[in-house]
Amino acid sequence: MDIVTNPEPITDTNYRPNTTASFVIETDAAQLSQQHLLALAHNEVRVIQVKGFASPEASQTISGGQTDLGFRAYINVDQVRRIGMAFYETENKQDLIEDYFAVVRENQNAFRDACQPFGSPLDTLRCLLDEVWPAGANLQTIFGRKMFVGLSRMVEPNTTFLAHHDIFAEDAPGHLEAESLKAQFAANIYFQVPKKGGELLMWHRHMTTKEFDERRKGQYGIAIDELPEPDVVVKPETGDLLIFDSRRIHAVASPQDQARVAVSFFIGYRGDDEPLTYWS
Amino acid sequence: MLDTTQSAIRVSETLNKEDLSDLIAHRIQVLRVPNFIPQGACREVSAGLKGTGYHDYRNAPQVGRIGMSYFETAKDPEIVDHYFSTAIENINLLRTACAPHPCPMDIFRCTVDEIWDAGCMVQTLYGKKMFVGLSRCMKPGVPLKAHHDMFGRHAPDTPEAESLVSQFGVNVYVDVPETGGELAMWDNEISDDEFLEQRADDYAIPLEKLGAHDVAVKPENGDLILFNARKLHAVLPGEGTDRLTISAFLGFRGDDEPVTVWS
């Protein structure tokens, strides 16, 4: 397909969203369909932007509720704060894996409570995925245990979420659940977005883990200015849901005026006739 | 044989795997989870449902519903088409009616997916997603007559129905009268042929044709109640106010299979 790249020069604080480009599908919750997810899985598009997935009122309540729960830095990424624990943080270490599973239920319920009186948009999305995908959608299991879903994350002003890719098999090497994935998407619902900054930046080119590890120089990701201009720039609005190909290099442009607050999880694709799975 | 004491009923603070497994293994007949939705949410969800508007079942007059039960299709191809073509929009209609509160059926589906090893999914039939989350409104003084729920009767000769090992009723009680409206159950698990013979031309068996029920549960606002739907059950008449529920079936096919939900 015709991939349109952004022709304009950009600076770190002035990305030009190109949502009209053919690699971003714009839709809403009622229209989100199997075809959209197939287009993403088959590399026809990079991003599905679901406008207004959460209402402005719900977004305000939820971002406040998340803040009250208290964000803490990732174990292995100082600059990004979260509630709950990402499987990525376990780094295949037994004690951290135990820590991860120990707080699953508590954190899932805490997020539901943080949304009240509003319904959790995360639950709605899980149900919607099950409804639109013919083979259904389920919570991912690993080691015979249910994984966590629904990581709240905050990217504070003047910090950058470095460029990285998310590949389940790198966090759970040798496990069938991870190795069987044919595609991996990230789903983010944004409850607070800065007026300036906070864009999702993506690059088309697949980077091998070897190249990624060399270029990240001991950090968790690659500095944006060490990469060419991003091929896809999407500026979410408050309440939007973005679903994108997480195995390609992506980053978050530095928020300028206020923190970017979202809830996030991954969606695993194993074929058109297989159930989707999700986890954080 | 059903224990005729109330030990057949378990009350639990949370919906968890142990209790669900006991229900599935028929160690208990009824599982009740009080405060599955908060009281404040019940009032607003009730208003939202009434504002959306209830319409009578096609084949069970005096029982109003939002969404459509597969039971109503009565194997009529046109009604079956209508059921499937409105399934997703009806799920969304329920969500909108409950907003800003969460649709209780969404929380139920997510929670069961979190506790059941192989997960929980919406039932498919003929390659299509079924509707889930039927909301029912029962007027005061009107019972829901005694019946059992057999997916196989409505979807005969389908792998989806034939693979079913057991079928459970799932009810979330949004607005219940202070008096009456009990879920009544009988020990007997009668065959579907026997049931069809007993109900004759009616949609179900009038309560007066049966002996006293063996178990009764009085639901409170916000309760989630699960029960073995293959046993005869009924809703006793309520007094004073309408009885509003959101309901589904839960299908079990084995410990390593996903459980499925539909209405």
- CB A276 within 8 Å of CB A267: yes
* Confidence check: pLDDT of B200 > 60: yes
Select from A57, A131, A137 the Cβ nearest to the Cβ of B88.
Answer: A131
pLDDT at B7: 79
* Confidence check: pLDDT of A7 > 90: no
pLDDT at B66: 93
* Confidence check: pLDDT of A2 > 60: no
* Confidence check: pLDDT of A116 > 70: yes
Select from A118, A120, A138 the Cβ nearest to the Cβ of B121.
Answer: A138
* Confidence check: pLDDT of A8 > 90: no
Question: What is residue B19's three-state secondary structure?
Answer: helix
User: A-contacting residues of B 231-260, CB under 8 Å?
Assistant: 258
Closest residue of chain A to B258, computed from CA coordinates: A138
Among left, alpha and beta (phi > 0; psi -120 to 50; other), residue A278 is beta
- CB A18 within 8 Å of CB A233: yes
Closest residue of chain B to A276, computed from CA coordinates: B121
Q: Does B98 touch chain A (CB under 8 A)?
A: yes
* Confidence check: pLDDT of B158 > 90: yes
Tell me the pLDDT band of B55, cut-offs 50, 70 and 90.
confident
| Chain A residues close to B107, C-beta within 8 Å | 112, 119, 123
Tell which wins on pLDDT, B32 or A9.
Answer: B32
Cα B109 from Cα A268, distance rounded (Å): 19
* Confidence check: pLDDT of B109 > 60: yes
Taking the CA of residue B113 and the nearest CA in chain A, the distance in Å comes to: 7
Mean pLDDT of B51-74: 83
Share of chain A above pLDDT 70, in %: 92
The answer, yes or no, to whether the previous bond of B219 is cis (omega within 30 of 0) is no
Q: Dump pLDDT digits (tens) for B219-235.
A: 999 999 999 999 999 99
pTM reported for the whole predicted model? 0.92
Q: Dump pLDDT digits (tens) for B112-156.
A: 999 999 999 999 999 999 999 999 999 999 899 999 999 998 999
* Confidence check: pLDDT of B189 > 90: no
Look at B40 and A108 and tell me if their CB atoms are within 8 Å: no
pLDDT at A234: 96
Cα B59 from Cα A55, distance rounded (Å): 38
Q: Does B139 touch chain A (CB under 8 A)?
A: no
Closest residue of chain B to A119, computed from CA coordinates: B102
The DSSP 8-state label assigned to residue B3 in this structure reads -
